[in-house]
Amino acid sequence: METTAADEVVGICRDLLRIDTTNTGDPRTTVGERAAAEYVAGKLGEAGVDVELFESAPKRANLVARIPGADRSRGALLVHGHLDVVPADASEWSVDPFSGEEKDGYLWGRGAIDMKDFDAMMLAVVRDWSRTGYVPPRDIVLCYTADEEAGMEYGSQWLVNNHRDKFDGCTEAIGEVGGYSYTVNDDLRLYLVQTAEKGLDWLRLHASGRPGHGSFIHDDNAVTALSEAVARVGRHRFPTVVTPTVRAFLEQVGDALQIDIDPDNPEVAIAKLGPIANLIGATIRNTANPTRLEAGYKDNVIPGRASATIDCRTLPGEADRFLAELRELIGPDIEIDHVHQQPAVETAFGGELVDAMGAALRAEDPGARTVPYLMSGGTDAKAFSTLGIRCFGFAPLRLPADLNFASLFHGIDERVPVEGLKFGVRVLDRLLRNS
Ligand SMILES: [Zn+2]
């Protein structure tokens, strides 16, 4: 019997899980990205696909391949996945996090859902096409990246800065984090398609004062000034803002769950949504969380400077208004440095590709209904969207109703349901054939 993509996907995913690609955030201790990219290159090479490997730094490998479509005048579809994973502490896990063990209907390992599952689906689909001589309707650009988990500097952002021509003609992209199911009842599953991401702005605040001896009366203390500002920011609740994506999410989920939802009163609306509320709690307002403090060098010396880091996450279109509000809170005497910035992204939930996502899901799950959502974290889509590409989180998975999927991201005992993986590869194949 012919091998199918669904037959291959589990073995490929297991192989990828066994390659430790831990990204610690420190290039000296980050491992495996080159080995994983070479594995992918080998699998694509067997399928006759030409690949290019690009190293942004020693062993920080990224892979790009273009599969020519039947109509080369059409815009290409970028299909992307990152190969790195966040660290896993084996002592906390019930299995070895890099064993790719299969048990209880799941494939276990760091990266099983973030995102070697989708990496494997991409490979399995393309290898199937090569076995059967299938040509997709338009160009497909496959991209496997390094360094998604630590800021994208050596991965997608580097590719966009240094090899943007590889993405020429790409009009749309799919990658993480979306396309997974949330079970309402036996006949209805919502599949959340990511159409927007919050922006990220890591700020360093600096307060200056008069240095002095800790035993004197002192009214110009940098530590005091900084602490007051940090406390005001940390305790502040920014007002709710309902972006087009969140509005569509609330309306459609309210309709699906048959509950009365008022999108203009999002806090009340979200409280009615039950477990699904966790996903979007942080998507109705900007946030600013203090994460680091630095000041002083001796117990009896008042330092002249004190600094703090604030992790800010902003909604699409809100960056300027947010900064003005933050400046007001912090006051005029404290300096603000932007340490690291990534823009928010948002695209409309509509068009042929979105229709094709719904059709591909319904063909495999008649109870499927797609819903757009805004994610509070960030992905490689941030880099790719700067090229004018419409980015979607669509890495399809049908999940068991009782699985706490969100807790598995960067979590202990990360695992992917084997049947979900096979479902995902069938949906991805259908989508790519009809997009
Ligand atoms: Zn990821």
Mention every residue, 6+ apart, whose C-beta is less than 8 A from residue 183: 189, 399, 400, 401
**Closest alpha carbon to 176 in 405, 411, 395:** 395
pTM, entire model = 0.91
State in Å: Cα 206 to ligand 1 middle.
33
Q: What end-to-end distance do the CA atoms of the chain give, in Å?
A: 28
Which residues keep their CB under 5 angstroms from ion ligand 1? 114-115, 176
State in Å: Cα 114 to ligand 1 middle.
4
Q: How many helices (H) and strands (E) does the chain have?
A: 12, 19
Q: Where residue 331 falls among pLDDT bands split at 50, 70, 90?
A: very high
pLDDT in tens, 172-231: 999 999 999 999 889 999 999 999 999 999 999 999 999 999 999 999 999 999 999 999
State in Å: Cα 233 to ligand 1 middle.
29
State in Å: Cα 82 to ligand 1 middle.
7
- Tell me, rounded to whole angstroms, the distance of Cα 115 from its chain centroid: 9
pLDDT in tens, 265-306: 888 888 887 767 766 788 999 999 999 999 999 999 999 999
State in Å: Cα 379 to ligand 1 middle.
7
State in Å: Cα 135 to ligand 1 middle.
29
Q: Where residue 106 falls among pLDDT bands split at 50, 70, 90?
A: very high
State in Å: Cα 149 to ligand 1 middle.
7
Please report the DSSP string for 146-205 in residue order: S-GGGTSTTTHHHHHHH-GGGGTTEEEEEESS--EEEEEETTEEEEEEEEEE-EEEEEEE
State in Å: Cα 246 to ligand 1 middle.
22
State in Å: Cα 116 to ligand 1 middle.
9
State in Å: Cα 88 to ligand 1 middle.
14
State in Å: Cα 377 to ligand 1 middle.
10
State in Å: Cα 50 to ligand 1 middle.
25
State in Å: Cα 187 to ligand 1 middle.
30
What amino acid occupies position 97? Answer: P
Q: How far apart are CA 399 and CA 411, in angstroms?
A: 17
- 78: number of Cβ within 10 Å: 28
State in Å: Cα 66 to ligand 1 middle.
22
pLDDT value at position 407?
Answer: 85
Q: Where residue 361 falls among pLDDT bands split at 50, 70, 90?
A: very high
Q: How far apart are CA 129 and CA 126, in angstroms?
A: 5
Q: What angle do CA 68, 71, 73 make, to 5 degrees?
A: 100
State in Å: Cα 176 to ligand 1 middle.
6
State in Å: Cα 73 to ligand 1 middle.
32
Q: How far apart are CA 184 and CA 279, in angstroms?
A: 15
Contact 301, 214 (CB under 8 A): yes
Position 242 pLDDT exceeds 90:
yes
Q: How far apart are CA 412 and CA 414, in angstroms?
A: 6
Residue for token digits 């609306």? Answer: 269
Q: Dihedral of CA 396/400/401/404: which sign?
A: negative
Position 1 pLDDT exceeds 70:
no
pLDDT value at position 280?
Answer: 78
Mean per-residue pLDDT of the chain: 95
State in Å: Cα 146 to ligand 1 middle.
11
Q: Which residue has the higher pLDDT, 274 or 96?
A: 96
Q: Where residue 318 falls among pLDDT bands split at 50, 70, 90?
A: very high
Q: How far apart are CA 118 and CA 111, in angstroms?
A: 10
Q: Cα-flanking dihedrals φ and ψ of residue 304, to 5°? A: -80, -15
Q: How far apart are CA 164 and CA 378, in angstroms?
A: 20
State in Å: Cα 171 to ligand 1 middle.
22
**Closest alpha carbon to 88 in 17, 192, 171, 175:** 17
Position 137 pLDDT exceeds 90:
yes
